[in-house]
Every structure is written in C-alpha cells, then in structure tokens.
Structure 1
Amino acid sequence: MTQFARLLHLVDSSIPTGSFAYSYGLEASITFGLVTNAFGLRNYLYAYLQQVSSMELPVMTSCFRLAGQELGNEFLVLAEEYDAQMLVPALHKASVVQGRNWLKLLVSFYPTAGLQALGEWFVQHQQPQHFTLLFTLALQKAGFQLPDLQTMYLHMLLRDQLSAAIRLGFLGPLEGHRLQHDFYTVFEELLAAQASKEYQDACRSAFLLDTAQVLHEDLYSKLFQN
C-alpha cells in the first residue's frame, strides 16, 4: 500500500515534469473545429487513448523487461525506433524535456537506485531522453510493477487532456472530472489489447490527431505549447 501511495504521488499533476504546459493537439483540435462539442471530445479522447495504447504500452512492456538487465543492443534499437516514430517536432521536443525532468526528479527521490546511470547511457549512445522510456526504466528500478505503471501512465495522460480542456474553457471542472471518471471503464480494454505486445508491434493509429498536433504551430495565439 505504501508503494502504491508513492506511485500516486509520482503521477500527481503538481510534480514538476512540465506536462501541464502542453495540450498535445487538443488546443488545435478545438481551434480548427475538429472538436466542437462534448460528443466530439469523447471521440477525441478515445482516439487519443487508443493512440497512446497502441504506441506507448508495447514500448513500456519492452522497457520494463530490459530494465531488469544491463541495457544493450536491443534497448538501443528500441530507443532508435521510438525516436523515429516521434514524427511531430513539437511533441519530440516535449517528450525529451519531460524525460530529462522526470529523470532528474527520480534521481533525487531514489538516490540509491542507480538511476543516474540511465541518463549517462542515453548521453553515451546519443539518444534523446524520451519521457515514456525513462518513466518506465526509472520506475522499474525503483521497484514498481508494470501493470501499475501502465495504468498510471494512461491515467496521467487522460488527466492532462481533460485539464487542458478545462483550462481552455471548453468544459467545466465538474463535467471534466465526471468524464475522467467515465473513461476509466475503458482502461482494462486498452490494457488487455496490448498486454502481449512489445515494441516491435508499436504503431500510431490516430493520424488525424497527428495532423492536429502539427497544426498547433499555426495557431495565432496559444494557451499551451503542444
């Protein structure tokens, strides 16, 4: 129970990794009319979670397995392939910024877990320190279990999207939190669909969402980065 409480703290929105600064395409989707009402937002969120599940969860499964041993050629291939699939420049930058912040935070929380070596590996192999990779590697070494990490990862991204919708004035806080509560019912479905997959099976599945993320840079004024 104490370990679960620690995990809840680590995914708290007040943790300074920088995720609060990004809308990951939601602001552009609303501005350009891709999301116009509550029904559209539900469809958007489901597509967003499907995209995360098909891309991130298989990568997390492989990262967790490889974190239990010395990082070698297989992890290097994984890191290179993951980086190659980060097609939107702004999202690539955001992922690296959050990854660095996350590792710095976890090193200070778990000074005896050897997490500093993770950052050194990425520097040595000239690989970007992507958030998803370091989120999984660091928490595996800190003693957390993969199902908990993947569930909390989905929770974290869903929460950030709904927080962005509330801050954009698209819906109120009560409505946003009710929607978040409703969406937890699809987590088991998403997790089960990706349970046996590893990074070789990872794919992006919501191309219109990718388009919205690219269009974010064309907004006249922005509340969020991307």
Structure 2
Amino acid sequence: MTLPALLLLLADSRLPAGGHAHSGGLEPAAGAGAVTDLPSLAAFLHGRLATAGLVAAALSAAACAHAARTMNGTNGSAGRGGGPHGHEAWTVLDAETDARMPSPAARRASRAQGRSLLRAVRGTSPHPVLDEVGVFPAPHHPLVLGAAVAVAGGSPAEAASVSAYGAITGPASAAVRLLGLDPLAVHRALADLAPEVDAVAAEAAGFADHAPEALPAVSAPALDIFAELHLRTDLRLFES
C-alpha cells in the first residue's frame, strides 16, 4: 500500500506547523520530577497515548470522516444515528473537543497548534474544506489534522494513526532536549510503543462515524494539572 506523500508530510516533525514549540506536557512533568529518565519517560508516553492520545485520535478520525463527506457531496449523512452536518458539524466537533479538555491551558495549546497547522496545510494544499475549519479564529489541532488528512487523500484510520503517532513523538523529542537523554534510546522507547500506537489508532478510528458526543472522553488529570502549572511558569522552553 502506497501512502500519499501529503499524508507523510503531515506526520513529519519538520512540517512548519509549530509542533516543535510544544512538549505535550513533558516539560512541566519533568519540572515536577515525574519524568527524569528513560523508564519514567516511557511510562509518561504510555499514559499520554492511552488518554489524551486516544481522545485526539478519535477527534481527528471524526473530523476526517466529516471532511470526506463534505468533499464527496454526501454532507447530509452524518454517520451512525444521524446528527449534525455541514458547518454545524464543525461547530459541534469544536465544542466536543473543548469539553474533553478541562484545562484552559490545554485548550489554548490545542488551538494554537491548530492555527499553526491550518496555516501550513493551506499553504501546501489549499481546499474549501480547510476554509470551513478555518471559520474558527483558532480551530483545535485534532480537527485541523483530520481535515488535512482528508484533503491529502487519507482515511479516518490514517488520521487516527497520524494523531496517535504525534501524541508520543512530540513529548519524546522534547525529552531529549530537556533531560539530555540518548536520542537512540528514546527512539527505542518509541519503537517499543509502536504496537500500542497502532492499537489506539485502530480504537479511535472505530469512532469515526459515531455521533460527536459518543467519542472517547478519557480523562488525564495529571496532564491537566501540568498544563496549568506550566502556564504559570516564568521560565520555560516550550509553550506547553
């Protein structure tokens, strides 16, 4: 199976979408002493993938499914059980994303990354469906990612994979910079987590056609607390 090159670009850490400025909660976790070495990093990534990673992947899959329906002219069908469609669906997905991020700081980070990603994908692959997402001043990152995957010719399952992959690679990269860990050892930790990434992506993709309110809402209280603490830190390397 050959993946579209545009889809590969979305998963590339060199995409100029500002991802390098966010640690996914790793910086405040390291500052609190919760992540200090490779084993604690692996535990952090595992927990993040199973919580915030699953939520984001499911939102991306749902956004990709809606964007694909829009592009195919089947906007009136909103998946299992009916539900909102058209612009209303984006509004509902945006609200459901907010509801799954109790931390204002986390919502702020998601919207900042979404705005940056939207600017990047509009520059490479402009499409009317991206304009629909862009009606929000700062759309959430998972929604922009899902729409971008659809524009790139990808499926909801692939949107979930890209999202789940990014849920751990961003923090892992930050750990190398913050903790001075061996990059090869960190990459090995990522490789060990690969089956879990695939499993989370597959689970998330199964919600692509569900009603927005039925999407996973797994909580991650520690990440929420870290996000709020990080926002109040005077000296920090990452935005989140």
Equivalent in 121, 137, 146 of residue 106 of structure 1? 121
Secondary structure of the structure 1 residue equivalent to 2:217: coil
The equivalent of 1:192 in structure 2 is 202
**Residue identity opposite 2:136 in structure 1:** F
The change in CA–CA distance for 1:59 and 1:184 in structure 2 (over 3 A counts) is same
| Contact 1:106–1:115, Cα closer than 8 Å, also in 2 | no
Provide the C-alpha distance between the structure 2 equivalents of 1:4 and 1:80, rounded to a whole number of angstroms: 30
TM-score, with structure 2 as normaliser: 0.81
Provide the C-alpha distance between the structure 2 equivalents of 1:20 and 1:74, rounded to a whole number of angstroms: 30
The equivalent of 2:7 in structure 1 is 7
The equivalent of 2:24 in structure 1 is 24
The change in CA–CA distance for 1:63 and 1:116 in structure 2 (over 3 A counts) is closer
How many pairs were matched up?
A: 221
**Residue identity opposite 1:225 in structure 2:** E
The equivalent of 1:54 in structure 2 is 54
The change in CA–CA distance for 1:218 and 1:122 in structure 2 (over 3 A counts) is closer
Q: Which runs of 5+ in 2 are unaligned?
A: 76-85
Q: Greater CA deviation, 130-139 or 2-11?
A: 2-11
TM-score, with structure 1 as normaliser: 0.86
| Contact 1:107–1:115, Cα closer than 8 Å, also in 2 | no
**Residue identity opposite 1:132 in structure 2:** P
Using the aligned pairs only, state the percent identity: 29
The equivalent of 2:151 in structure 1 is 141
The equivalent of 2:83 in structure 1 is none
The equivalent of 2:82 in structure 1 is none
The equivalent of 1:93 in structure 2 is 108
| Contact 2:36–2:179, Cα closer than 8 Å, also in 1 | no
Provide the C-alpha distance between the structure 1 equivalents of 2:64 and 2:234, rounded to a whole number of angstroms: 41
The equivalent of 1:38 in structure 2 is 38
Provide the C-alpha distance between the structure 2 equivalents of 1:110 and 1:192, rounded to a whole number of angstroms: 26
Deviations along 1:145-170, whole A, 9 cap, x unmatched?
22222112222232111110000024
The equivalent of 1:208 in structure 2 is 222
Give the C-alpha shift of residue 88 in structure 1: 2.4
**Residue identity opposite 1:55 in structure 2:** V
Q: Which runs of 5+ in 1 are unaligned?
A: none
Give the C-alpha shift of residue 189 in structure 1: 2.3
Give the C-alpha shift of residue 89 in structure 1: 2.7
CA RMSD of aligned residues (A): 2.2
**Residue identity opposite 1:51 in structure 2:** T
Deviations along 1:51-98, whole A, 9 cap, x unmatched?
134312222232222211242433322221212333323322222222
Secondary structure of the structure 2 residue equivalent to 1:194: helix
The equivalent of 2:90 in structure 1 is 75
